[in-house]
Structure 1
């Protein structure tokens, strides 16, 4: 599995820069940890094998085996190359993301909060315009509050200010530079800001999120109507993965048959699991 990740990372570009002046480094979406997990999971499924690791465990192990910077994963030698470019071109421009489903909404929020840990009232006016014409038909995107609660952490003013927030505030507010992480002025400014968790805490969040997704998947399993007109793609993906791991191919087929055709056809992960479930059922 980790050999696959290593090979995959080797094939990805290390540096992308914008045209024009001043140049900016581009965030490479394919190097996002969750995207890498999805890619390796798809590889195993396409080859008829069980996915050998859960999302939370994968995300926890990834930074141990590889290197992370600016929300991207690198091989050690790639990170050296990236850091050299980073020293010459300090500004990292996040890739333009269109919020079409829950996954891209999380990606957008991650990019935003990596750059600028913010309060909910600061995030809301920036986020809402992103959900528009790109939204997939029949796709349910959870409310902003739920997305934040499930995927990020909020500093409540207790204890030291997290380094992610401290770094942002000390860089962007002259009066907060050089202050201790427990300084009352820094704590007051940092309170209620959402931020991207470090890998260890991210694992706990991911486990909590996965549990919630699978719980919601049960409502799809118990659905007795003919068609599920609206659905959460992340719930379907988590549920299909769990059913595949349990060799419960009939659940995948049954729910897939109730989904609008475009929901299935437009998502490679769902379609792959559905096709493989059909194949396994026919073999048996």
Structure 2
């Protein structure tokens, strides 16, 4: 069957003719060109026999492999904790309709795909983003089941929509994996859509996630209600993160090692397990500074810090990543990056800030001066600078109180929330989760636009898990 079906495209009217003689079909679509190429079916089949024979009977080829066509949501023939490594390149949202694109082969074989468990977004099949996430989560839970503890899963991601990205991220976390690294994959040659579409993402992302070890999970179960559980998670997570990242001989920032990302990963781990987070963000940041080595706004275990600093001597300091300034969180990051370079006055910052600002329509963004007063300190010369970690903790606590006060105002109001401080929503959801007030999270989420929730991984995580808690 492989011999026959692998020749079908080149013998069909989908195989287009071009003047440069680079014939072929347009992948990812059922398309009939105005000019097509006629090929000899007999010659193609003869060549395919030679190609396939090289695979099956070629010298030095290891035949110790298994090809399976069952659903990824049910690896019934594979034992628990038996696989060393998983690489997956799954469907992403509505990018490609795989079962529909198989029509040409399946029509000849008279065997059609059961697409009920096909993980795609497809209005004809009645599958929206939630269905897609649910189906992906089923598949990822199976991968988690069969993967050995302490081993890794790598996923290639390709989609331009934040909502699809967040659905994938939540599905990975809900399955039990811990995300440790996200970086670009340069495939050298793009797909047809990547080359021709202005809206297509030009590079794929590679997500690396690990299955925690059993000894850590057992220890975490005992200590999760205390801060010791937080630091055990952080220690084992830092241990799994890449120490350095290089591109073209230059060091790059490992974003997963920054304090905000570490905090988000820790919170996600707790929330997915239905456990209140026993530490506030300010206390977590202060604890990071006390317990681990900090360098270039990244945190390391002691032995990792030595390796990083040696590499930095060879390659130089990594460049700060550009911050897309559109909401309060990104505004704080943008100011941080600027003040990291040198202390600056309000007059110096303001024109740069306004030049970079692309404010989201939902964001009730505080004035620049308010952001500076809430998060930074001013010296005698009137220039703003980044406070020391111990002072940062105190300022973060005051800021958190102000955000919760703002959130309570939203609770007292009625109707849809059309403009708000997104940081106040995040602080309110975290506080409500800690108090097991799941109803507040769900009710507030329904007052926000669905696109805002879908585009924010943290809020989506709180909402979905709060909904699950209420349904139990």
Q: Same fold (TM over 0.5)?
A: yes
Query: Does residue 237 in structure 1 map to residue 426 in structure 2?
Result: yes
Aligned to 2:71: none
Deviation at 1:18, TM superposition (A): 4.8
Q: TM-score, normalised by structure 1?
A: 0.80
Deviation at 1:99, TM superposition (A): 1.4
Query: Does residue 4 in structure 1 map to residue 193 in structure 2?
Result: no
Larger mean CA deviation between 78-87 and 240-249 belongs to 78-87
Q: Distance in 1 between matches of 2:247 and 2:351?
A: 26
Gaps of 5+ in 1: 158-190
RMSD between aligned residues? 1.6
Deviation at 1:28, TM superposition (A): 2.9
CA deviation map 1:111-154 (0-9, x unaligned): 2111222111111222222212xx43412222211111111111
Q: Distance in 1 between matches of 2:343 and 2:314?
A: 25
Does the aligned pair in 1 maintain the 2:276–2:436 contact within 8 Å? no
Q: How many pairs were matched up?
A: 243
Deviation at 1:12, TM superposition (A): 2.8
Deviation at 1:24, TM superposition (A): 4.7
Q: Distance in 1 between matches of 2:395 and 2:387?
A: 9
Q: 2:284 aligns with which of 28, 40, 58?
A: 58
Superposed, 1:119-130 pairs within 5 Å as 119-130=345-356
Q: 2:447 aligns with which of 233, 251, 258?
A: 258
Higher strand share: 2
Aligned to 1:275: 464
Does the aligned pair in 2 maintain the 1:30–1:36 contact within 8 Å? yes
Aligned to 1:194: 384
Runs of 4+ in structure 1 deviating by more than 6 angstroms, as ranges, are none
Does the aligned pair in 2 maintain the 1:37–1:58 contact within 8 Å? yes
Higher helix share: 1
> What SS does the corresponding residue of 1:194 show, helix, strand or coil?
strand
Deviation at 1:45, TM superposition (A): 0.4
CA deviation map 1:31-86 (0-9, x unaligned): 22122112101110011111011111111111111111121111111111121122
Does the aligned pair in 2 maintain the 1:29–1:95 contact within 8 Å? no
Q: Distance in 2 between matches of 1:143 and 1:10?
A: 39
Q: Which has the higher contact order (CA 8 A, sep 6+)?
A: 1
Larger mean CA deviation between 84-93 and 197-206 belongs to 84-93
Does the aligned pair in 2 maintain the 1:221–1:255 contact within 8 Å? yes
Q: TM-score, normalised by structure 2?
A: 0.49
Does the aligned pair in 1 maintain the 2:276–2:435 contact within 8 Å? no
Q: 1:16 aligns with which of 234, 242, 245?
A: 245
Superposed, 1:112-261 pairs within 5 Å as 112-132=338-358, 135-155=359-379, 157=380, 191-225=381-415, 227-261=416-450
Gaps of 5+ in 2: 1-229
> What SS does the corresponding residue of 1:60 show, helix, strand or coil?
helix
